[in-house]
Amino acid sequence: MSFHGLFSGDFPRSRVLLVLLVAILAGLALTPFAFPGAKALNVAAKICIFIVLVSSFDLLLGYTGIVSFAHTMFFGIGAYGVAIALTHLGPTWTAVGLGVLAALVLSLILSLVIGLFSLRVKAMFYAMITLAVATAFQTLASQLSEITGGEDGLTFKVPELLSPGFSLSDKPFLGVSLDGRLISFYLLLTVTVVLFLLMLRIVNSPFGRVLQAIRENAFRAEALGYRTVVYRTWSNVLSAGFATLAGALLALWLRYNGPDTSLSFEIMIDILLMVVIGGMGTLYGSVVGVTLFVIVQNYLQDLMKFASTATASVPLLRDLVHPDRWLLWLGILFILSVYRFPTGIVGKLRAKALRPS
Amino acid sequence: MSSPATLTPAPEALPTVKLDRLPLLLLPVLALIALPLVGSFSTWVTLTFAGLAMGMIIFIIASGLTLVFGLMDVLNFGHGVFITLGAFLATSVLGRMTGWTESESLLRNLLAVVPAMLAAMTVAGLVGFTFERLIIRPVYGQPLKQIMITMGGMIVGVELIKVIWGAQAIPLPLPTAFRGSLLFGEAAVEKYRIIAVVVGLFVFAAMFWVLSRTKVGLLIRAGVHDREMVESLGYRIGRLFIGVFVAGSALAGLGGVMWGMYQQTITPEMGGQINVLLFIVIIIGGLGSVGGCFIGALLVGLVSNYAGFMAPKVALFSNILLMVIVLLWRPQGLYPVVKR
């Protein structure tokens, strides 16, 4: 298979971006060997899961121009699907399959219904409706405690191959023990890459071009003969489907799921920030945005702790750089990105590569 | 459109718009339906008052949001920040006046609460002005960016509130004379709820008067109806809009004080949580309509209190259900604003 086919003809188109992407992929693939310890592996896994989740959101926001606040709902459905199936059917691959399938069906029905009912109206209206629906769903999930475990969530066992107790060989390979966590991680990474390439295929297909046409000028797209409602609904359904898969990956990796890990509004905000900072309307933007955000989220706090102790004597400044305020700085970066470079980091890099120096 | 004006003989006076009374009936009808379901009359009185009080506070907060949307198509997802800001300012002001808030005399309590409300309104208004200039002005007419930028403004605003007041929940106790309840026959009605209803009615009356009896109000209504026409007549709708935005933010600040005292504890996240409720209210009312917003807010307040008493589990979704039912009846909300 040629590179052209693999990337659907949508190459990074910027040398810096290419280096960045290769570095991210290599970093992820080598994490278990290069950065020992549970934290680094968890950070890498989170990056993988969010790459799928944020790319699927970009399909909706960046490519079709629809703002939805219900994306975590589908993420949560996927996670709960796997969690509930594994809790009740035991740790088998059949249970995983059934859970994912049931979650996908539910997501598709829900996204279809929401889409058909409210995608005809203005962007604002859709944003508000999805916000209300997502809030209701979150309440529902925490109330149905017999099924979902309520606020406590569900802790469950995963199939043996993926569980930490499983071991491929007694001898460690390059100083890393070949246990179920390692297998889980590489499975996660593979699925992420496959799903990402699949989404790249979708957005670069004729269908994807129509979505972009709708984003640029819905009226004109309609005049050219495309049923915009149908395309918008499809985009909504597809993006919900991928978000569901990302949720299933999350549940498999954490072996736990609860309302705060997959459904909370904070995650929705995180997704929005990642998409915009990385670059809307290009899937590579999601990769860059997610990586930057997750690393900042996990490691900026250490830096800020240092700054905070350094400025301990200055009252206001000390509070501004307090480690818990990392979101403040990302929020400011977010606002600046929306104004100054709406195409995000990736858009900037691509524009720079185009300009003759 | 009705028949062309050229065919009808010139009317002697301007034709008055017929008032749509149907949505007005919803409130008494709802209350009457709830009466047999609740069972006891005294409980019903208590619940109705609780619902009205909650509705009034929501109306105070949501009225600015709906007007801002009607006038400029700007939907402020960051509206919640002004609520939180108002509530936290109130703790700062009232915290310094504990001698007066803990006094038994109603007058002294009022002398503490009124300045707190005024401070909350002033600061929320000023912050609203800055918010409009810095955050919203550059993205007029770009709905997608507006949603994102106001959301971003909200994130930064909440974080800044945490920087100033800390991230934990703060108690906001009611002044002494506001506590306890009055007995009407067998029905107990909390004093604070009566106060909330009175303040809410006052705000509604003042807003109604401004909108229907003053020139500014006339311009605002005309602007909601047809912005371009008002502009072509030489009025600067931009300035009008800032005024409405600042007033809306100030009212949200006032509502924040009242909501905070209603809940008695405040958290930096409270504004974001109430945002969903606000959206439901303004969608029910019809985006841009103040009258619709008033009825929508009261409906939401009543329904959540009745449902909370009869079926607590359903109560969590009662607002969404209410919105779906209203939209099935009138897809544009109770009082659709004609231009869209």
Q: Which residues have CB under 8 Å from A56's CB, separation 6+? A: A71, A199, A238, A239, A240, A241, A242, A243, A246
CA distance A81 to chain B (A): 22
Find where tokens 């301990």 sit. Answer: A312
What CATH fold (topology level) applies to the domain A3-354? ABC transporter involved in vitamin B12 uptake, BtuC (1.10.3470)
Q: Which residues of A touch B135 (CB under 8 A)?
A: 335
Q: Which residues of A touch B148 (CB under 8 A)?
A: 67, 272, 276, 334, 338
What mean pLDDT comes out for the span A179-194?
A: 90
Put simply, whether B178 touches A (Cβ < 8 Å) is no
Contact A92, A311 (CB under 8 A): no
**Higher per-residue pLDDT: A151 or A99:** A99
Nearest CA in chain B to A340: B138
Query: Which of residues 30 through 59 in chain B touch A, CB cutoff 8 A?
Result: none
Residue B89's pLDDT is 92
Instruction: Give Cα B334 distance to the centre of its chain.
Output: 16
pLDDT above 90 for A223 = yes
Burial zone of A102 (CB within 10 Å; 0-12 exposed, 13-18 middle, 19+ buried): middle
Is ipTM > 0.85 here?
no
Residue B108's pLDDT is 80
**Higher per-residue pLDDT: A325 or B200:** B200
> Which of B151, B162, B340 has its CB closest to that of A325?
B162
**pTM score, whole prediction:** 0.85
Residue percentage of chain A with pLDDT more than 70: 96
Residue B273's pLDDT is 83
> Which of B77, B159, B276 has its CB closest to that of A132?
B276
Q: Which residues have CB under 8 Å from B112's CB, separation 6+? A: B93, B94, B97, B100, B101, B175
Which H/E stretch holds residue B187?
A: strand B187-190
What mean pLDDT comes out for the span A187-213?
A: 94
Residue B15's pLDDT is 61
Q: How many CA atoms lie within 13 A of A96 on its CB side?
A: 19
DSSP A162-218: GSTT-BS-SSPBTTB--BHHHHHHHHHHHHHHHHHHHHHHHHTSHHHHHHHHHHH-H
Pick the closest to residue B153 from B254, B249, B297 (CA basis): B249
Residue A330's pLDDT is 84
User: What domains sit in chain B, N to C, each tagged with a CATH number?
Assistant: 39-175+190-329 (1.10.3470)
Mean per-residue pLDDT pooled into runs of 10, chain B (340 residues): 49 64 84 84 88 93 87 84 93 81 77 89 94 86 83 91 88 80 79 89 91 89 85 88 92 93 89 87 87 92 89 81 84 72
Q: Considering just the CA atoms, what is the radius of gyration of chain B in Å?
A: 21
What mean pLDDT comes out for the span A309-338?
A: 80
Residue B2's pLDDT is 45
> Which of B155, B162, B279 has its CB closest to that of A128?
B279
Q: Which residues of A touch B75 (CB under 8 A)?
A: 124, 127-128
Interface size A-B, in CB pairs within 8 Å, comes to 90
Contact A333, A277 (CB under 8 A): yes
Q: What whole-number distance in Å separates Cα of residue A126 and Cα of residue A342?
A: 21
Both tokens assigned to A41:
């592996």
Contact B23, B292 (CB under 8 A): yes
